[in-house]
A and B are shown apart, each in its own frame.
Chain A
């Protein structure tokens, strides 16, 4: 009885891990299915579906678009967030609490509502939908995050360094570029990579604000309409692989350093 009680936590741990990993294992396993349907019994393995995915020009175009939008919108979010954080942390502005509130506000609104608002506005203004509108939407959702991360990491200990640089005659932009930014590098990188992962996986804004050029989640969405297929498993597994690789890079560089400090 006591032994059972002691084993109970480990049993629970194993069960929950099984639940958490079940979909991923099934997804990856049946991406190697040698047959038309990704359901039991498992046949194979074959790399045929990966070959099909990699030679599918629509999917590859969507993949490229996703990278473009994720990198571009994240870079802009970090830049705007960094500038705003400098302005609000280093200078005293009237109503700075309100300004911070406005910059954070998009975080509290669901993506669907942000997308709908942008869609109605673009329609009213007669502007066409494109990857640019998707990117603009992604900056809206990532800017609050970048601003919050960078603002939170701007402490007093950097101020004296900046003052020293200023006393030595550095102009303001050089202080920011050569002193402030390098000191904030962990925060800037964390904000950037977090934005990339959010933008990379974002669906509803990309779905509503794009027309002909779509991002990967939207392309996968349209694949789902044709039902279950090992092809979808293969592309899903590839996306998972990319994300995990990104996570490992992040863990090895940014977070490990931050944790050690």
Chain B
């Protein structure tokens, strides 16, 4: 009798889960499988032939412009993560420690307000600022700091600036959330034991917020290395990051197998970093 009820309950539960599961299967798992299979295919003329060959991956290692994409991606992402954390941490700390409690929410909302402009438009706004006759050059020239307008558009500097602008807002949120969770007693205890402000920060606050920094930095890494828009709009075509190389395969060449293989390489890199971060977090906790 109870077995019957259990069976009915179970069928009902499956009925509830199945639509979401079906959607994920049909529009995520299946396409992913198709992509993995495609990465082992070859493009021959206009046809895509399923060859079960590793040639695309071999090409990735051997053809320098493909491998170069990954190297450029890693360099830019590393720069962005480090600069964003260094800029965002003090901001989060000032909002959490110096801004009066009842203004903190407002300060935080203000700090992430430009987050709500469209992503494409935000990159475009940086083009406006950094272009040859843009606001930044105009200001520098009128202050007499430079005599010639600086070439900032379509450079790595522009890409990194656009990224940092976005991720400072994101990291300020995650680090702030971490900072306000710390018990005020810790600070008092450190002061009672004779630590000055800097020592308290260095030996108590900073170690305790390291997980928050790590999570934010990882999020930055994932979103930054997979992004096509910012490097395309701000970096131009002087040096290509991996997502730009992937999109290039899709364009005129219509080389789906190569695009699939490169995407899986990108995913493998992200997974490796994820494993490293997860292990680090585990070690930190014990």
| B15 proximity list for chain A (CB < 8 A) | 87
Measured in the bound complex, the distance between the Cα atoms of B20 and A106 in whole Å is 12
Q: Are B118 and A236 in contact (CB under 8 A)?
A: yes
Alpha-carbon gap, A101 to B169, bound state (A): 29
Residues from chain A with a CB closer than 8 A to the CB of B250 are 116, 208
Assign chain B's interface to a size class.
35 or more
Residue of B16, B20, B25, B127 most packed against chain A (CB within 10 A): B20
Q: Are B91 and A12 in contact (CB under 8 A)?
A: yes
The segment from B52-60, B107-115, B183-191, B203-211 that touches chain A is: B107-115
Q: Is the CB of B168 within 8 A of A217?
A: no
Within 8 A of B (CB), among A7-26: 9-10, 12-13, 16-17, 19-24, 26
Q: Which of B17, B99, B126 has the most CB of A within 10 A?
A: B17
Cross-chain contact A204 with B168 (CB below 8 angstroms): no
Give A103-114 as 1s and 0s: 1 = Cβ < 8 Å from B's Cβ atoms: 101101111111
Decide if A86 touches B16 in the complex (CB within 8 Å): yes
Query: Are B114 and A23 in contact, CB atoms less than 8 angstroms apart?
Result: yes
Asked whether B259 is an interface residue with its Cβ less than 8 Å from the other chain, the reply is yes
> How far is A216 from B138 in the complex, measured between Cα atoms in Å?
31
Q: Is residue B157 within 8 Å, beta carbon to beta carbon, of the partner chain?
A: no
A140 within 8 Å of B by Cβ? yes
Give chain A interface residues in 65-102, CB to chain B under 8 Å: 80-81, 83-84, 86-88, 90-93, 99, 102
Bits for A196-225, please: 1 = Cβ < 8 Å to B, else 0: 010001011000100000001100110010
Indicate if the CB atoms of A228 and B128 lie closer than 8 Å. yes
Most buried by A among B14, B23, B129: B23
Q: Which residues of B contact A172 (CB under 8 A)?
A: 12
Chain B residues within CB distance 8 Å of chain A? 9-10, 12-17, 19-21, 23-25, 27-32, 34-35, 38, 87, 90-91, 94-95, 98-99, 109-111, 113-114, 116-122, 124-129, 131, 133-135, 138, 165, 168-169, 222, 226, 228-229, 233, 243, 246, 250, 256, 259-260, 263-264, 266-267, 270, 274
A-B residue pairs in contact (CB < 8 Å), sample of 19: A9-B90, A9-B98, A10-B94, A13-B91, A20-B114, A83-B19, A91-B16, A93-B13, A102-B29, A103-B20, A109-B28, A113-B266, A117-B28, A120-B256, A140-B27, A203-B229, A221-B120, A236-B117, A244-B116
